[in-house]
Amino acid sequence: MAAASTDRKLFLGARMKRMRRELGLTQTRMAEDLGVSPSYLNLLERNQRPVTAQVLLRLAEAYDLDLKTLSSDPESTSATGLSEVFSDQMFRDLGVARHEIAEVADSAPAVSEAIVRLYRAYLDQRRLTELGSIGRPEEGAGAGSAVLPSDWVRDFIQAQKNYFAELEDAADEMVAQLAYEPQEFAAAARERLAKRHNITVRVVPIDVLPESVRRYDHHRKRLFLSEVLTVAGRSFAVAYQLAIQEYGPLLDAMADRAGPPDRPTRNLLKVSLANYLAAGFLMPYAAFHEAAERAAYDIELIRSRFGVSFEQACHRLTTLVRPGARGVPFFMLRVDSAGNISKRFAGATFPFSRFGGTCPRWNIHASFRTPGRMVTQIVETPDGQRYFTLSRTVSRIATSYTSDDSELAIGMGCELKFAERLVYSRGIDLRDPIATAIGPACRICERPACKQRAAEPINRTLTVDDFTKSISPYPFASG
């Protein structure tokens, strides 16, 4: 990150103030940590003084801070969400500039998130109206809440950068107590459940659990796992049960502290936190981080070493943001063959839409044509940012010949500058790469002449006429 210079002064008041409050520090205490006076820190927080290189370095040293987290990022989660909101046709006459959106997202992230939530509620209500469900909230999604539980939980987790220090500490504590080798976790966890909680684990035929893969019988203290679960899936289910039994109060406290809007959202958040803790049991942070670095992020090798699935390893890679032991900042998507996104996590900037699907030019969709094969691609977003991406299909459960296909696709990626640390980039010219231009969902993408465009941008005028057939099926005016 460039230091403050004579030609570009750096004002980070809102971010410094937010960071200080998150750390629970007074201005006096932070001023002492930075070696400045409280009055000078007050001027910095009010943007009446630019941040100097010396103050930046002291911030990094005092709080083990990655300076990139302080930089003004027009493609941050908040800025991206606001950009999508203000691209709606109803705001077209306002002409809201990108730098204005970035300023609002930077100085008032909570207000930005509130605007995004209101817009999401508006979209949900509009969909209900289109479906003829208006006036019957009991039949519509999200009744009683402006935000769907899954959206609220996803946004909450992303606001924490997909990292929970309390859960990492709890996982380290359990790993130390069990003292197991990575491949022996399931046996150690089953023994712990049996001896300490009198819980037995049984794998049962599919006809016993026809509509679920895991069920815990509270009365008989039995954990039933479906035979359709893979070995890695069974290990994760045992880890989840151990997390609930051993750290239930911690999970309850964290879920309550987050302030979810209703009981369903709170329950979903607790399950998500328990899943995070279970992953920590299976893939302890320090050991997993070291293995990832040594293997140059070869996901198949890492997966095999810890006895987990490809998807589990990918998800864990997005959480490697512990101060002092950061990994490559990955983002991750999971989609089905129809393009529906069922999982979306990021340890850093995430370049895709919050309100729509993914760009058809990103080869996560093409991976369905080459099942089980890793596909790489360098993509470039409209702002010129480039990302190195990986895509591969996965199956979470075993399926019979007559059952529906359960194949999904996992998409991973990081900023191109980190690609040299990945085994998958070997043999690729990263200095002068061939990059595929992509965008957000078609409805808000303004890339012209796209052969794969599925709809015109909602903030542009369609320019179809009788005399010309363009490359894109939906040509539009540029301004």
Q: What is the CATH number of the domain that holds 43?
A: 1.10.260.40
203, with CB counted inside 10 A (0-12, 13-18, 19+), is: middle
Q: What are the tens digits of pLDDT across the range 235-245?
A: 999 999 999 99
Most confident by average pLDDT, 105-109, 128-132, 150-154, 346-350: 150-154
Do the domain assignments include residue 396? yes
What is the C-alpha separation between 444 and 415, in angstroms, rounded?
A: 22
Residue 468 has which token pair?
């010309």
What is the C-alpha separation between 125 and 119, in angstroms, rounded?
A: 10
Other CB atoms within 10 A of residue 156 CB: 17
Cα 378 to the center of its chain, rounded Å: 20
Question: What is the CATH number for 374?
Answer: 3.30.450
Question: How many domains is the chain partitioned into structurally?
Answer: 4
pLDDT the model gives residue 7: 47
Q: What are the tens digits of pLDDT across the range 185-218?
A: 999 999 999 999 999 999 999 889 888 899 999 9
Share of residues in the chain with pLDDT > 90 (%): 42
Q: What are the tens digits of pLDDT across the range 41-60?
A: 999 888 888 888 888 888 88
275, with CB counted inside 10 A (0-12, 13-18, 19+), is: middle
Do the domain assignments include residue 101? yes
Residue 409 has which token pair?
């696709």
Other CB atoms within 10 A of residue 246 CB: 21
Do the domain assignments include residue 104? yes
Q: Which of 137-146, 364-373, 414-423 has the lowest mean pLDDT?
A: 137-146
Residues 315 and 332: beta-carbon distance below 8 Å: yes
Do the domain assignments include residue 420? yes
Q: For residues 456-461, give the mean pLDDT.
A: 69
Residue 140 pLDDT > 50, yes or no?
no
Do the domain assignments include residue 175? yes
pLDDT the model gives residue 5: 39
Which residue, among 336, 350, 320, has the nearest Cα to 84 in the 3D structure? 350
Confidence band, pLDDT 50/70/90 cuts, at residue 378: very high
Q: Residue 93 contacts by C-beta under 8 Å, 6 or more apart in sequence?
A: none
Q: For residues 66-94, give the mean pLDDT.
A: 66
Nearest 10 degrees: CA dihedral of 147, 153, 157, 159?
20
Residues 58 and 141 in one domain: no
331-335 and 341-346 strand pairing: antiparallel
pLDDT the model gives residue 319: 95
pLDDT the model gives residue 358: 73
Mean of pLDDT over the chain: 82
What sign does the CA torsion over 467, 471, 474, 475 have?
A: negative
Which residue, among 295, 319, 324, has the nearest Cα to 171 in the 3D structure? 319
Write down which residue in 147, 176, 201 finishes a domain: 147
Residues 332 and 395 in one domain: yes
Residue 24 has which token pair?
């629970």
* Domain carrying residue 138: 77-147
Provide the residue type at 1 as one letter. Answer: M
pLDDT the model gives residue 17: 83
Residues 36 and 54: beta-carbon distance below 8 Å: no
Residues 10 and 4: beta-carbon distance below 8 Å: yes
| CA distances (Å), origin 155, targets 90, 159, 260, 311, 354 | 25, 6, 11, 20, 10
Residues 243 and 278: beta-carbon distance below 8 Å: yes
Residues 338 and 358: beta-carbon distance below 8 Å: no
Residues 61 and 88 in one domain: no
Q: For residues 214-228, give the mean pLDDT.
A: 93
What is the C-alpha separation between 219 and 417, in angstroms, rounded?
A: 54
Write down which residue in 267, 282, 297 finishes a domain: 282
Do the domain assignments include residue 193? yes
Residue 469 has which token pair?
């057939």
Residues 139 and 213 in one domain: no
What is the C-alpha separation between 451 and 470, in angstroms, rounded?
A: 9
pLDDT the model gives residue 342: 80
Residues 111 and 18 in one domain: no
Residues 132 and 173 in one domain: no
Residues 249 and 332 in one domain: no
**Greatest Cα-to-Cα distance within the chain, rounded to the nearest angstrom:** 78
Residue 434 pLDDT > 70, yes or no?
yes
| CA distances (Å), origin 245, targets 74, 165, 194, 195, 250 | 43, 20, 11, 12, 11
DSSP state of 157: H
Residue 2 has which token pair?
């460039």
